[in-house]
Amino acid sequence: MPESSETKKTLKKKIVFKPSYFSFPYILLCAIFVVLPLILVFVYAFIDDKTGHFTFSNFAEVFTSANLILLLRTIGIALLTTLICLLIAYPTALILASSPFNKFVILALLFIIPMWMNFVLRVIALKELLTLIGVKNGLFASVIGMVYDFLPFMLLPIYTVLTDMDKSYSEAASDLGANGFKTFVKVTLPLSAKGIASGITMVFMPVFSAYAITDMLGNNNTTLIGKIINELFINSGTWGVGSAFSFVLLLLVFGTMILSNLVGKSPKAKGGAK
């Protein structure tokens, strides 16, 4: 007996392979290597290292006066690094994205090529350079190292947004009588807010855990919270306190991401100021 047309359509739907199926391995890897470790960190944050019982004392250890000073120092260094990267990257991206230079992609690649080199080798080379010019280890050297290492992460998203920006908005502002400064403030800057937000997120968050730079270029006054977490997990084996530190740090990172997404989705970021 011949099959009906409805039965054939049903069979075709059953054997159709959807492109979304390719995401299943990625979801599985994320569940194993991202979600599961985060759950373990959350669980260990409430477990006492000595007794193995449920406790809030790990968070009390995190919010001691000494650790709060360390946390504020980490936030301060991260904010300073992010601000300097923004002040350097935005004018640079604006120049590279302008019509005379936009065709020379090699100029943008000069800022990205250092990222291909090993991270430790870059910091060692910078340390030798700073030693030659007489810059001692400390906050100044550490900030230079942070800016040198994370500047491309700020430059690239801003450069991409400025390159893809519709130039007709700037031309329309000029036709309406706006000068260069007003066009930049009212048109270019709001339209590039999404790239700025992405750059701030890509610089601010990694600085918290980039203790290797402060170890090689800093001193006791430039210790970051990432180093303390590493020592708690690796050296002292106090997983509970280390997980509590990591959990607080994770909340700060999530807060930064939420703020940057709000900036990127603001009306001015989408369509410019009206």
Q: Looking at the domain covering 66-237+257-271, what would its CATH class be?
A: mainly alpha
CA torsion angle for 89, 100, 183, 165 (degrees, to 10)?
-70
Express each pLDDT in 68-112 by its tens digit: 888 888 888 889 999 999 999 999 888 888 766 555 566 666 767
Q: Using alpha carbons only, what angle is made at residue 87 by residues 81 and 89, rounded to the nearest 5 degrees?
A: 95
Entry pTM: 0.78
Coil vs helix vs strand at 47: strand
pLDDT of residue 268: 54
Helix axes 119-132, 139-164, angle to 10 degrees: 120
What's the average model confidence in pLDDT over 17-27?
78
Express each pLDDT in 187-223 by its tens digit: 888 888 888 988 988 898 888 777 888 888 888 778 8
Q: Are 160 and 198 in contact (CB under 8 A)?
A: no
274, pLDDT greater than 60: no
Q: Which residue ranges make up each domain of the chain? A: 66-237+257-271
